Structure 1
Amino acid sequence: MVSCAIAAVMVGRRVQSRKRWWRVVKALDEFEEAASTPVGRLKQVVDAMAVEMHAGLASEGGSKLKMLLTFVDKLPDGSESGIYYALHVGGTEFRITRIELGGQRSILVHDVERKPIPQHLMTRTSEEFFDFIALSMKEFVDQKENNSQLSQIRGKDIGFTFSFPVKQTSVSSGTLIKWTKGFAIDDMVEEDVVECLQNALSGRGLDMNVAALVNESVGTLSVGHFYDEDTVAAVVIGTDTNACYLERADAIIKCQGLLTTSGGMVINMEWGNFWSSHLPRTSYDIDLDAESQNPNDQGFEKMISGMYLGDIVRRVICKMSLVTDVFGPCTSKMLTQFVLSTPLMAAMHEDESPDLSEVAKILEETLDIHDVPLKVRKLIVKVCDVVTRRAARLAASGIVGILKKIGRDGTGGITSGRIRSVESGKMRRTVVAIEGELYTNYTMFREYLNKAVAEILGEEIAPYVILKVTEDGSGIGAALLAATNSA
């Protein structure tokens, strides 16, 4: 009798355990279904991207894509020579770069110095802030040029990468729209950032000329084009994401009559703000957006960039812990936004140990989830895979959207809203420069993205499109643009 009762209890527990497990599996299946990116859906995103690009070029505010003019109408071609500098201000530190170009697509010398920005200067006056930058620049120049016999040769042009929202008014001028990243220097908003830097350099006795004001993605395009003239677009996929490409001047309808010496201009898309009903948005994305500092903004970025991917995984784990006790009680860490970073997510995703020990370690140390069974760890890896695959494939569809707009995807492009077709026999080799740690450091992300680009383009067109890793667009790229725009 007693043995029957014990057996019944054990069977009951097994049934309950199995039910709990299936609830977790069901939650994952529902997420995977909602986040799916079949190639048909990706092609709809491609078309939407191309159409939105056209709308953004047609009129200001005509699209979620800003499609900003950069006034860069000439890209480096490898013939540049001489000494050039770059300055990158974009966060809690700034970077000074010095390159010596030797023609024939060669960089003979490449020196870099990083310096932290003192916290108090992030909220003081523009004069104090830029004087600190100028003094650091002077010390760096003095140190580098003392021993150089080339100090008199065109060592005076600077490329300035300023990673804050700026309305560019020429290749070497632009006004600050607003501060981000903890900066709050009020007297600089709506002021020309190049003029502020130029005045500070003069004040420190530096006879240097800011020849180019550069966005990081434009710098990436510049490096790509320096090494390979078939480079027509650039994408940055790191903590945040953006893209730019070379457009025909006559296609920029919102600036009718725009004349450039090359007949083209680089367009900064600000593609993080792209949105389309075809994007596979889940309940987790909706919640993340609602709780973010910029709700209803940067929708594409929130699905594909390193800032957000780890947090989407955390949210799925939270949901699983609510539908079942497979993780034990919900911890306070589990409820903390952004506690699970994307590099940690990537480490779990790419854990190749037989017992997934890295997954167990990260769950314990980061989310305070202990003693997770192996089958549950495998489920977590699957969650990471779904999030990463979707992000990479959506980024791929964005890239092909750019190629479609400029007629490099085999369909001939989009003009006045109509798609033209072209014979694949006329396809030209097309290179897209890619920068950012999500692509360069995260193997699975890179593989999913590359595969999706080939899948969308098809086997006839894909061999003509090359994705190339490019490094230091904000440093080398800015210096190269200074060389190209040198007086």
Structure 2
Amino acid sequence: MSTTSELTRLREFLNELIPSEDQLVRLYQNFCAQIRKGLGSKTNKDASTKCYLTYVQDFPTGNETGKYLALDLGGSKFRVLLIHLKGDSEAEQITKIYDLTERELHSTGVELFDYIAKCLHEFVCEQKVDNEHMPLGFTFSFPCVQTGLSRATLVRWTKGFNCSDTVGEDIGLMLKAAIARRPGLRIDMVAILNDTTGTQMSCAHRNPSCHIGLIVGTGCNACYTEKVENCERLDSKYKDKPKIIINVEWGAFGEKGGVDHLFTDYDRNVDQNSINRGSQIFEKMVSGMYMGELVRLILLRAVNENLVFAQCKLRKHITDILTKKPHCIETKVLSDIANDRGDDWPLVKDVFKQVFNLNNADPDDCMKFKFICDVVVKRSGNMIGVTLSGLVNKVGESFSVIGVDGTVYRCHPNFDGYMRETLDRFVDKDYKYDMMLSEDGSGRGAALVAAVVHRDYMERKSLNAKLRQ
């Protein structure tokens, strides 16, 4: 059994990963300052959170009907969806997943989008809707600067993509051109959005009070509904509508120093060994892509300081693996073991067997490992809760729903609670909030944007017809 002094030493060792109230207050203040900078026309260039304009200004009512397509591109696979909206917030969907090989990931932009258009054509033929004129919403989860609802200039590729002749180009025009090169393909791409916007729109379809979208998965980002008068960079022609969704791109928060007071040597190590050193600092502290690696680094130091596995015969073997095998601890492990407790620790022992080939692990070491994992996850949830609080207060509605998607949020049983801990402390007392799990936000949300655009088009067409009479 671990002695009280051993547990005290471990808690003290992990103390730098447990933010104090003062540190969280400073995080809140820094984040809100970056949002103000991101919205300003003169200060945007100095902001780490760029607050990209999405040009999504119309929201679902739940009464939308008809068939719409969605394309979801954000990794080494992409999805094509056919969504049948039936009113009363009801929808049916058919989804097909397509693989992208190394060839497509590192091809030219023309080759990539020609392949996507080919798959789109196959899909509509399989679903026997190839003779219908189909509006399409395009979820494109890479950093872009949008200049209109269906126009977006790629800032940089991430997630292993490196297609030539695309950075600085209009992704919307490239997809439209690829569709035009496919004879008989009657698809009209009407909107580009990222996965956070899709998540917000998907949840707004069920609850119109959804003013914020959040992704906590491999990456982490958020969007929210802003008043147009606060968007200095928005052209006046778009200010006839009261609101617009802002893509915060908060993964980059910290690139200007906003999280330095929480940045540990573990975080510094993760950043230095990443492919985008110095970028996406907040994301590297809170998202699924990096939490497992943070645990590996913390565990390695804890072993070296005789805090864990001090009596284990395989201690040197464990140290060698932790030293020589980056990413040997996957983030999903943190979710898998979250409910493991008691004397036997079967789930933690299974992790030790898989990673270290260690059988019959000491229950005390199991407890300590789980504690390390919990500290990393709780820091993430608490930090995200603080930044979410800034958005809830910025929205300024008496009640806001936060639509959430992503594997970390879906899979870790305590993550929702960790976010609420700091949300409850930092959300203004005049405002209430709740969280809603998204139903396939990146897919269904894209189709809903297409539906809303189509609805707006038909309403304007009807109004113009009446004016001509």
* Partner in structure 2 of residue 123 of structure 1: 106
Deviations 1:323-366 (A, max 9, x none): 22615114432122211011112223321353112212212321
How far apart are residue 48 of structure 1 and its match? 2.2
- 3-state SS of the aligned residue for 2:165? helix
- 3-state SS of the aligned residue for 2:11? helix
The verdict on how the C-alpha distance between 1:369 and 1:352 changes in structure 2, with shifts beyond 3 A counting, is same
Distance 1:347 1:353 in 2: 15
* Partner in structure 2 of residue 419 of structure 1: none
Deviations 1:32-74 (A, max 9, x none): 3212234454333223222210011113223111111111111
Greater Cα shift, 366-375 or 355-364: 366-375
Partners of 1:435 and 1:470 within 8 A in 2: yes
How far apart are residue 369 of structure 1 and its match? 4.7
- 3-state SS of the aligned residue for 1:115? strand
Partners of 1:159 and 1:478 within 8 A in 2: yes
Partners of 2:392 and 2:427 within 8 A in 1: no
The verdict on how the C-alpha distance between 1:467 and 1:215 changes in structure 2, with shifts beyond 3 A counting, is same
How far apart are residue 277 of structure 1 and its match? 4.4
* Partner in structure 2 of residue 345 of structure 1: 334
How far apart are residue 395 of structure 1 and its match? 0.7
The verdict on how the C-alpha distance between 1:445 and 1:127 changes in structure 2, with shifts beyond 3 A counting, is same
* Partner in structure 2 of residue 297 of structure 1: 279
User: Which of 154, 170, 187 matches 1:208?
Assistant: 187
* Partner in structure 2 of residue 450 of structure 1: 420
How far apart are residue 370 of structure 1 and its match? 5.1
Distance 1:232 1:41 in 2: 27
For the pair shown, which has the larger CA radius of gyration, 1 or 2? Answer: 1
- Residue 366 of structure 1 pairs with residue 355 of structure 2: yes
Distance 1:234 1:434 in 2: 6
Return the TM-score normalized by structure 2. 0.88
Partners of 1:86 and 1:478 within 8 A in 2: yes
Greater Cα shift, 219-228 or 54-63: 54-63
- 3-state SS of the aligned residue for 1:485? helix
What amino acid is aligned across from residue 190 of structure 1 in structure 2?
G
- 3-state SS of the aligned residue for 2:262? coil
How far apart are residue 405 of structure 1 and its match? 2.3
What amino acid is aligned across from residue 377 of structure 1 in structure 2?
C
- Residue 37 of structure 1 pairs with residue 19 of structure 2: yes
* Partner in structure 2 of residue 97 of structure 1: 81
Distance 1:465 1:124 in 2: 44
User: Which of 250, 269, 290 matches 1:308?
Assistant: 290
Return the TM-score normalized by structure 1. 0.85
* Partner in structure 1 of residue 467 of structure 2: none
- Residue 221 of structure 1 pairs with residue 189 of structure 2: no
Partners of 2:390 and 2:427 within 8 A in 1: no
Mapping 1:276-291, distance limit 5 Å: 276-277=258-259, 279-291=261-273
Deviations 1:393-431 (A, max 9, x none): 1110111011222334xxxxxxxxxxxxxxxxxxx2211
User: Which of 214, 217, 228 matches 1:235?
Assistant: 214
What amino acid is aligned across from residue 202 of structure 1 in structure 2?
A
How far apart are residue 371 of structure 1 and its match? 4.5
Paired residues, what number?
442
- 3-state SS of the aligned residue for 1:168? strand
- Residue 383 of structure 1 pairs with residue 360 of structure 2: no
What amino acid is aligned across from residue 376 of structure 2 in structure 1?
V
- Residue 478 of structure 1 pairs with residue 446 of structure 2: yes
How far apart are residue 121 of structure 1 and its match? 2.3
Partners of 1:334 and 1:368 within 8 A in 2: no
- Residue 396 of structure 1 pairs with residue 390 of structure 2: no
- 3-state SS of the aligned residue for 1:355? coil
Greater Cα shift, 444-453 or 135-144: 444-453
The verdict on how the C-alpha distance between 1:342 and 1:483 changes in structure 2, with shifts beyond 3 A counting, is same
The verdict on how the C-alpha distance between 1:115 and 1:277 changes in structure 2, with shifts beyond 3 A counting, is closer
- Residue 429 of structure 1 pairs with residue 399 of structure 2: yes
The verdict on how the C-alpha distance between 1:183 and 1:280 changes in structure 2, with shifts beyond 3 A counting, is closer
User: Which of 36, 41, 44 matches 1:54?
Assistant: 36
The verdict on how the C-alpha distance between 1:256 and 1:176 changes in structure 2, with shifts beyond 3 A counting, is closer
How far apart are residue 224 of structure 1 and its match? 1.5
What amino acid is aligned across from residue 419 of structure 2 in structure 1?
L
The verdict on how the C-alpha distance between 1:27 and 1:309 changes in structure 2, with shifts beyond 3 A counting, is farther
Any gaps of 5 or more consecutive residues in structure 2? 458-469
CA RMSD of aligned residues (A): 2.4
How far apart are residue 279 of structure 1 and its match? 5.0
* Partner in structure 2 of residue 332 of structure 1: 320
Any gaps of 5 or more consecutive residues in structure 1? 1-16, 409-427
User: Which of 239, 248, 268 matches 1:269?
Assistant: 248
Distance 1:304 1:341 in 2: 14
The verdict on how the C-alpha distance between 1:290 and 1:170 changes in structure 2, with shifts beyond 3 A counting, is same
Partners of 2:71 and 2:137 within 8 A in 1: yes
Distance 2:377 2:104 in 1: 38
Distance 1:407 1:384 in 2: 35
Partners of 1:164 and 1:178 within 8 A in 2: yes
* Partner in structure 2 of residue 198 of structure 1: 176
Deviations 1:294-345 (A, max 9, x none): 2222221112111111111111110022122615114432122211011112
Distance 1:284 1:177 in 2: 28
